[in-house]
Structure 1
């Protein structure tokens, strides 16, 4: 399983301030920490960056790749900034565009750019109508994205389909719809596409105590369904410890301790067998 490291994002105050001030030190610190933790790609999220995105994105990419030899996941809604980042990307490995979708203006242009620069691309299963209701609808959007991408010269194995995870604390029934979507995506092409999720979305709104149990257990479910590449923090030791144990529980092993009990409770929450509450582990 590959990992796209998530921590260099404009949504974090410290990183947003560093981007604005052109202070590379905090950004570089996170790039090195995530690289040492074993990530395969480093996501650089600058958001819309409407004023200076075309200068900001290449500055960050060039700075990181001077010291960290990892491909970049170029994360922005600013198409000009996206292309500037692709032009600047010189390190080993191929970059990833984050992202195309079924929304107007986010499909053909993104796939054309991916083909032009020999980039991989994340494709969100979303249209102008929003996020689909279930796995079947997500897979229908995925098929349309895949067909469009192939017609524009992007191979299936260069596409990361994202079913779009929703918080279990808000839309509990959607957790397994995304898992089933990952399972169904594998049948869309031969060779099959890759798949990704923003893992933190599943525990958004949960307490710090619950987050690693929800995230780690859900990651094990997603991998069992065929997930290839989560977007997450590779240095989250507690989450990955839960993930390793959850794989054993899903395979039928009895851990014989409190961790196994917590994972079993979390599986019931994720599968909507028990109703979610903030105190479900108590």
Structure 2
């Protein structure tokens, strides 16, 4: 939907024609194209079919010229999507420069507040905010380490941070956000997927990064190509597509109602024989099932 698309690459919406397209001067992959294909690639007999075939998608670019998803980009994108009628906002990324933001740090607390307000604004406007849980294989409900922050430092390795449970991944661990973990083709939790009791909402297909076209998730790629990728980004996209279908079938439901509909229809997780599955809470409400 070109009229609902924009670039927030500098923290301000730019709705000029094609502004949302990748900047030729910035190294960008086809990650967004791949995610969009999972959400809504049309059923036209070619390539892949999305969860919500042919749904209208707004391209809201967040990635700035430095290759970062800063809070100002995210806030701009959330507000733009909400103000232009989005029923679902897919967030297959984490906020830079801190992989996890700790409220005890004044700067990181400000980032939590800013992105949190934007996500809340989108939800009140009727959009389900969907986010990937992350690909670090970590328990979000436990103490953990972070070796990647800040990721915009000029030189040298990042210091090892020891984090408490109060430190959160943005936007996935914000209140009301539908946070999605990944499962493999056999329905088992993907080894790379983050998880955590009370920290994740649903599980969906994310695929095996070493599984090739049979084990990963095949979707669109720029220039008419296709690619097999794996990650919680792909899992989140499946849920976003399901929200789009649910919104079309149940226009009377708001954001919380749509999220509750999917959670209520989810299938129980924990395949038989998987030790520690329930204790670690890989699945949240369960594995995504279309409730119709």
Q: Which has the higher contact order (CA 8 A, sep 6+)?
A: 2
TM-score, length-normalised on structure 1?
A: 0.38
Q: From the CA coordinates, give the structure whose radius of gyration is larger.
A: 1
The structure richer in helix per residue is: 1
